[in-house]
Structure 1
Amino acid sequence: MRSEVSVTFKDHPPVRLDLNEVQPMPHDVARGWLDEEFTRMGCEPLRPTGKLLIADKVLVVAQAAGPARFADARWAQEFARAASAALAKPLVHIDVATLSISY
């Protein structure tokens, strides 16, 4: 089964991260990795209620990272592994400009 995470930023080519030959990240480890990055980058919840869904966390971490952080292949690969595992989906497309995720 094909496994890929793609991230699209406005005015930048999409970042495609192939996970076919990569060891999957355990779900709890993925959530922990995203939590750490969310805190380290000083991210804020998307919703005014403060409720933070895992999909929201994936979106805001991608947004805070920006195209420059995704240029770091090692970090980008870890993000892709974490996003795929946390969302429990093999194919994930993150559109940062519209703050949306599709599967």
Structure 2
Amino acid sequence: MRSQVTVTWGETSTYRFDLEEVQPMPHDQARSWLDEQFTTLGCEPIRLTGKVLTADKVLCVAQAAGEEHFREAAHREWAMTFARATSAALAKPVVSVDLVTQSLGY
């Protein structure tokens, strides 16, 4: 089964992370990592109720980290951890994070 996370800022800025040969991250560890990044990067809840869904965290963390964290080799380890955490927290082997439309696809 294919396992991949794609993060895109538009047609010319798409980054694919192949997770086939990568050790899966446990679900609770993935949620914890996303929570930590959400706080560290100064993300704010996007819903008026203040409730933060896991999908919202994924979008906010990717947006706050910025495209350079996915593009530059110096941040490759962080980007792979993001991909692993995203796949595990959402319990989906294939995830598309579209920051132009602020949406996730499975």
TM range (shorter): over 0.9
Residue 85 of structure 2 aligns with an amino acid whose one-letter code is A
* SS state at 1:5 partner: strand
The residue aligned with 1:62 is: 62
The CA distance in 2 between the partners of 1:58 and 1:12, in whole Å, is 21
Q: Does 1:92 align with 2:95?
A: yes
Q: Which runs of 5+ in 2 are unaligned?
A: none
CA offsets, 1:20-78, max 9 Å, x none?
Answer: 00000000000000000000000001111101000100010011111111121100000
Distance in 2 separating the partners of 1:3 and 1:84: 8
Report the count of equivalent residues: 103
- d(CA) in 2 for partners of 1:69 and 1:83? 15
Calculate the TM-score normalised by the size of structure 2: 0.93
Q: Is the 8 A contact 1:25 1:82 kept in 2?
A: yes
Q: After TM superposition, where is structure 1 displaced by more than 3 Å over at least 4 residues in a row?
A: none
Cα distance in structure 2, aligned partners of 1:60 and 1:17: 18
2:99 and 2:2 map into 1 onto residues whose CA distance is 22
* Structure 1 runs not aligned, ≥5 long: none
Tell me the TM-score normalised to structure 1 length. 0.96
Superposition RMSD on alpha carbons, in Å?
1.0
Identity %: 62
1:3-42 map, 5 Å: 3-10=3-10, 12-42=12-42
